[in-house]
Structure formats: C-alpha cells, structure tokens
Amino acid sequence: MRPGRAFRAGLLTVAVLGASMSVGSQATAAPECPDVEVVFARGTDEPAGIGQVGRAFVNTLKPMLKGLSIGTYAVEYPASFDFLEAAAGANDMSRRIKSTVADCPDTKLVLGGYSQGAAVVDIVTTAPMAGFGYTEPLPRAVVPHVAAVVVFGNPSARLGQPLTRMSPDFGAKTADLCNKADPICSLGRDWNSHITYQKSPLVKTAAEWVAKLVHATGTDSTGSS
C-alpha cells in the first residue's frame, strides 16, 4: 500500500471505533532513561493513564524482562467519542518518541495502544507526512529505536488493513492482536470481547512478542550488541 493511502486508512479507522467502558489506571512514573519505555495510548472513554489493557500488558511484560528497568508513558489525548481527536494522541506519541530518542538514545521504545489508542499508533507508524491534524511525523532516524509495537482491538484490522500490513517501517515489529469475536477489529458480534482484553491471553502473547524483540536488539535500541 502506498504511504499516503496507508495514512488515510489509518485516519479513517476512527469511524468504526466504539467506547471502551472499562476503567483505566494512571501510568507509573518512569525512571530517568529506563532500559525500556512503553508508550501506550488508552482506549475510548478511559480515564487518563495507560488504561487497563496497558496496565495488564506492562505487568505481564515486566517478569519477562528481568534485570531491565521499564518505564511507562501514557499518551495524552482526549480518548473521547470525537474520534478525530486520535490525531492529537498521535502528535503526543510522536513527540514523546522523538524526545526520548534525543534524551535517552539507549532506551528501547515499545509503542502500544488499545481500541482508539490503536488508531493513534496506526497514524504514528504509517504517516510519512503531516496532514489531517497530525503535525508530528516521525523522522526515519527514530525507527531503529522502536523495538516493538503492539495494538489490541485495532479498528483498521476490521477494514482489512492491520498495522502489520500498513506500516513499511514498523510492520515487521508489530503484533496486531484481535479477539476473534471483537466487532471493532473483526466481523465478530461480541462486544464483551472488545472490552475484556485486559483478561485475554492475547496480553501474554503481546508481552512475549515484545520481550523477544527487546532481547533481540542487544544492549542498545539501535540494534547493536
């Protein structure tokens, strides 16, 4: 898919987003220049923080990365029913990525999102240029610093454009995870399967994926060992 078309597809996914009614929790304070930082965008209507899915993912990941310090950053955006505000989340996520690479070049970045937060990740990882409210496209120089990407309940997957296919730079590092009956990321009809990812085995699948890629990058986020 051409980059411009992929970007438009990422933005259009907000049209099929629903509300995630689960309650989130605040992100933990990250140590200065942690070995790994998880930058996570919560789902629709969750309180500020990384949300329940983000928290479950981080808690599952920590034991798999023993000996490494793990920080979290909660993407700041409304996560409201105005789904076009996903662009605001994409801007904040991009700014965080760029500032972390500048200030902590050895930190391995993990990008993540759930539901509308997954659409935020779609925009960041597929947009080659600014547009449609997104003003912070990533320079290619930051790509090697991103060790892995995980998204849950990604609306673009329902449109036949999972992030693994949409993003030429990050697709190979991405786990785009969808519960079988989730109506947001598949043709399923079980709404409950969309709002219970924090209890799903897919959280462990995502953590295992990330742990494997973090370990594979060696001692720094540029892939040297």
User: Tell me, what CATH number does 203's domain have?
Assistant: 3.40.50.1820
- Which residues form the domain of 127? 3-16+31-216
**Number of folded domains that form the chain:** 1
Total Cβ atoms within 10 A of residue 143: 14
In a domain, 224, yes or no: no
Segment 194-222 mean pLDDT: 88
In a domain, 141, yes or no: yes
Q: Note the pLDDT of residue 218.
A: 66
How far apart are alpha carbons 76 and 90 in whole angstroms?
9
In a domain, 25, yes or no: no
In a domain, 21, yes or no: no
Q: Note the pLDDT of residue 50.
A: 98
Active site residues per annotation? 115, 182, 194
- Binning pLDDT at 50, 70 and 90, where does residue 18 land? very low
In a domain, 158, yes or no: yes
In a domain, 118, yes or no: yes
Global pTM? 0.83
